[in-house]
Every structure is written in structure tokens, then in C-alpha cells.
Structure 1
Amino acid sequence: MKKPTINPTSSDDIPGLKTVLDGTELFPSTMLPYMLAPALKGETEALWLTCHQDGEAVGLCYTVPEDLADGTWNMLALAVRPDLQGKRLGAALLRAAEQHLKGKGQRILIVDTSGSDDFALTRKFYAKNGYEEEARIRDFWADGDDKVVFRKAL
């Protein structure tokens, strides 16, 4: 597999990213054009990155600044097409987002996930990539499903 390329998301990436979202069920792919529109128009600080493999959009990272915080960003979405998961593309997207934010003088990147057994690999992924569990809010998503907040200093 060739080395992936990671670039700011463009409107040309939407069809491939819809496939990523349909495969991962991270959020409904029909929402993507509306979520991306402000970034594509340059109307937001939000960072959208797309991972390309062999010319195809196969992964995404979506990160936003935290309101009322100095240099703290929240990664709201990170997804890779299911058939390409486990090949370090998610880690490459994560590093690209971190490098971009660090280059802009930002301090912290946080990410929220679930404490359920279904998300054990997700939590392991963030820990493996240098994120520390910073907080756990019991029963946040549903009864018995904690919100787990990971943090990494940039």
C-alpha cells in the first residue's frame, strides 16, 4: 500500500467520504455536505482533513476549536473506510491534525468516545497514539454508557 496523502477536505472528496460514513455509521452521510459547507466557504475555523489512498478519499478528520478556551480543540470525527482500518490511516489523520494545530500555536486536542465494550478498540487506539484518559462522565450517552474524554498536549 502506498503512503497516504492527507489534505484539507474539498468538495471533490464528498462522494468518497460518504462511502466512509456509510461504512462506519459514524453519522449519517447525508449530513456531510451541510457540515462541510462552512469550511469549504472559509467561514469557520473548523479543520476538515481527508486521507487519500490511491487517489480515493478513504478517511476523514473533523476538529473544531472549543468555545471560550484558549488553544483547545475538540476532534468530533475520525473515520476510515472499514476495509482499510488497521493500516494506520487513522493514526496518519490524527498526526496531520495535531501537526496542523501545533503549527498554529494551539495547545490541546481532546476527543470524546464511549466507555462501552463496543468502543474498547477506539479507546485503545487513542491511548496507543499518545492520548490520556482525562475524564469519564458516568451514564452520559445512556445508562451504563460513559463518556470518556481523552486529551493530548500539542
Structure 2
Amino acid sequence: MADSTVPVDVISAEALLNSGQTETNKLLNQLVPSFNFPQPSLTDGTDSLRPATLRGLAPDQVLVLINGKRRHQSALVNLNGSVGRGSTAVDLNTIPPLAIERIEVLRDGAASQYGSDAIAGVINVQLKKGMGGRAQATFGKYITKMEDVGQVGTVSLTTGLSDNP
């Protein structure tokens, strides 16, 4: 894609695994310059399904493809003070990073080719096709010497498809 006339970012599975993030939206926020994944708290249902934007446009103006096929948007309409108020978004966090072979992000309007839901751009997630499995565990701990503050520890498990059985 080096000879493309539009800005396309291709993110490999290796870059995804080396980023240290466990959520697909956070990975894209870290690796794609025009991708924005704000994390508001206590704003209606966006605590569980957080909207993401591309090029500062509404979440429903980003077309998300999985292996080249359209991914449905969620049923949650963003209200109150959340990002993309009045729109719906695709929940990219339902796709574990371990199952992704690469992500292609077209950071330019593509409405003439894909339709009005691609005004901000297109995100094409290519999934791994291999048989087998892979698991990843992360551990984090908050240590403090302040009185009356508890020590917090957490473990996060992720599973997905792998090319190597």
C-alpha cells in the first residue's frame, strides 16, 4: 500500500501485541494518529460501550469492516455529555487483540466508495485464520504507603485465535 493516494495505516499483529494494551480501542488510540478514544465516566451507557472517533467526527461516521464486511453498530445511542452525542458506535473492544492479524485504517473520507457511514474514514480489521489457541495474562498492582488506602491487585486474561496451534 506504499503507492496509495490516500493515507492508510497498516498495523500488524506484532505491533498490537507489543503495545501493551489489552483493549482494541486503546491500541488504535495509541497507534493511529487521528483515532480518538476518550474515556468518560458516569455518562449513561458509555461506561460499558465507549465510542471512538476518527478525525474528530462522530462515531457513526466511521465505517468498521471485519475481513472486508460491514460490522453492525451498537443499539446504544450516546446521550448526555458523551462523545458523539446522538449517534451510535461500533464496539471494537468486542474483538480481542489476539485474534487480529492486522488493522488497516483509511484516514480519509471514503463516502463516495463506501457510503455515508464512511465520511470520517474506514477501519478494516483482518482476523487471523489459523487454527489453535493462544492466551495472554496481564497483572497489575497498585502499591502505596499512604494510610487508609488499600493495596489493589488485578489479573486480566485474554484468549484468541493463533496461527500456531
How would you bin the TM-score normalised by the shorter chain?
under 0.3
TM-score by length of 1: 0.27
Task: Answer 1 or 2: which has greater helix percent.
Answer: 1
Max Rg structure: 2
- Greater length-normalized contact order (CA 8 Å, ≥ 6 residues apart): 2
TM-score by length of 2: 0.26
